[in-house]
Chain A
């Protein structure tokens, strides 16, 4: 039982109003002061007339309203500060064994409650400025659109501790982890505030107290990150643009074509730089409470996905990445986080770029029950007799290049779909997360004795389906998958992922 999980109401970081909206307020005050200074200097040193006819402040001074104006500003300031203070006082949260609750608002009160066993992920974001002040934003994602419980801002250490506690309560374990208790006691460490701040700022992104197997950590190399940006579809577009402009200039002899190019180059540069800095220090690691994805250099973000929260996984390879052997991994999740993922992409991209070893490691993390070697082999397989039920030869009318490897396999805990020869792709759906299965057959597929299988999961970037399956296998696979989905979901306990653990 630590500081936050005693079931009482707690308040946020005292600097919260300042960090949330106060920066703009300070900027306005600074602006007014700077303006005033100009006027004061002018009225003392200049002749006092210099072209300031329309100045409202001078007008106030000339008409003897100074006292009134100062009073108005003071009242405004006091109201602002009091408003901030009250909104901070009224913004409270509480964590019990079952739910996390937030109450906020002065006139319009909101009260939001999220069930702990429905948590889909916990995200700790530290934007640059709050990070300087040692504050962090904690977001608890619950299944559904716009169904997140946000705690902004908390002290940096408090956010880490709160996340650990929420995950512990949500996991259903009865054991109090010894390090949590110890840390709660040691929270008020030695050293000055500045020393602590600096330590936090340059400290490692991953919590050192966590038991992380070192080989499970996947990091993104800077060179590969750069390369993946240069080999993206955007680059192709850029090259096409440059070629087009060059042709235009040579044909017409007019340099007018160059103007958009200059703007284009500036925009491009910004695009590459943002994507690059946002993906720096990218890491994925396995922890007892799920997969942890962290990234960012100045503004950092660190998200934990507890086990069983990933509804499907897609490994794909854009055609330009084939020569370097890089892959990208996306997932479907039941929640939508307001925080963007690395490189400003949707946070459903959990591996922006990686080689086959990284892919294997990440797959082992996100799909614990599936043999990563099987998947890694399936990724590059040319098809044939490789453990997959591939499309028959007659499917080549519909799948010109990929019919050999357009296939399907059922493992103990997942459905694996393999598609594409040019744009290679592998989709894995954990059976315990499968919502329903469908098999379709239209007139064209019927002529060829083929059918299409669709696997329904929560909405996301992936729509798992497989076309051109042998019709005689399709109904069998359909029924097998339906049975497997029921079996897996009834034996699945991942909503309370550590409930099996004994009391320590």
Chain B
């Protein structure tokens, strides 16, 4: 296995470790929604390959859940002079750079579980749908400060489309 991609950035801001809980619970609910009906169907119909598929799905969910802490640790962002860098993923790595002047709006979203843990999610929208950068698991205070910083930066570097 060769090396992972790495950017020459001094320090990445990481998201709150509490976000692991949100992610794990989300996956468990999703897994239950898939696996329970699948098991019931396999039980009633009773083909062996249906059990095999269900078991395979179960293993995939288990691995995903086990690796969640590592994956959450891989999420990071860095504020550079003129753009925001964002990274996520270990097996499938993704780095995005968004110039501040390109940000059309910044959203703060809170799910029920994240709100209980005092976390927020920050979403950036540019004129390109593909940019799609969402930083999850930020403490509420930090999320609001970051949003205000970004809006100010975007305002000072406003460019057309």
Contacts and interface: CB of A to CB of B under 8 A. Distances in A.
Interface of A: 117-118, 143, 308, 311, 334, 432-433, 435-443, 446-447, 449, 451, 454, 456-459, 463, 471, 474-475, 478-479, 481-483, 485-486, 489-490, 492, 494-495
B131 A449 contact: no
Given A454-B130, A482-B99, 6 more contacts: A118-B161, A435-B102, A436-B102, A443-B91, A457-B128, A489-B159
Contacts of A308: 160
A490 B5 contact: no
Given A437-B96, A457-B128, A490 B7 contact: no
B160 A495 contact: yes
A436 B160 contact: no
Interface residues on B, range: 20 to 34
Main secondary structure of the interface of B (DSSP, over half): loop
Given A436-B99, A447-B1, A490-B101, A441 B126 contact: no
B92 interface: yes
Contacts of A494: 160
B129 interface: yes
Given A308-B160, A443-B92, A489-B101, A435 B128 contact: yes
Interface string B1-30: 111111110000000000000000000000
B93 interface: yes
Nearest to A479: B7
Residue of B3, B8, B96, B97 contacting most chain A CB atoms (<10 Å):
B97
Contacts of B63: none
Residue of B91, B96, B157 contacting most chain A CB atoms (<10 Å):
B96
Contact of A490 (B133, B157, B161): B157
B117 interface: no
Given A117-B160, A458-B127, A490-B159, A438 B2 contact: no
Closest CB pairs A-B (n = 3) = A435-B128, A456-B128, A482-B97
A474 B159 contact: no
A118 B158 CA distance: 14
B82 interface: yes
B5 A485 contact: no
B61 interface: no
B25 to A, nearest CB: 27
A67 B76 CA distance: 83
Contacts of A475: 5-7, 95
B94 interface: yes
Nearest to A309: B161
Nearest to A459: B129
Interface string B60-97: 00000000000000000000001100000001111111
B2 A456 contact: no
Contacts of A117: 160
A415 to B, nearest CB: 13
B122 to A, nearest CB: 15
Contact of B95 (A438, A457, A463): A438
Contacts of B8: 479
Residue of A118, A442, A479, A492 contacting most chain B CB atoms (<10 Å):
A479
Contact of A486 (B1, B6, B83): B83
A143 B5 contact: no
A454 B132 CA distance: 12
Nearest to B6: A475
B98 interface: yes
Nearest to B92: A442
A441 B92 contact: yes
A438 B94 contact: yes
B75 to A, nearest CB: 15
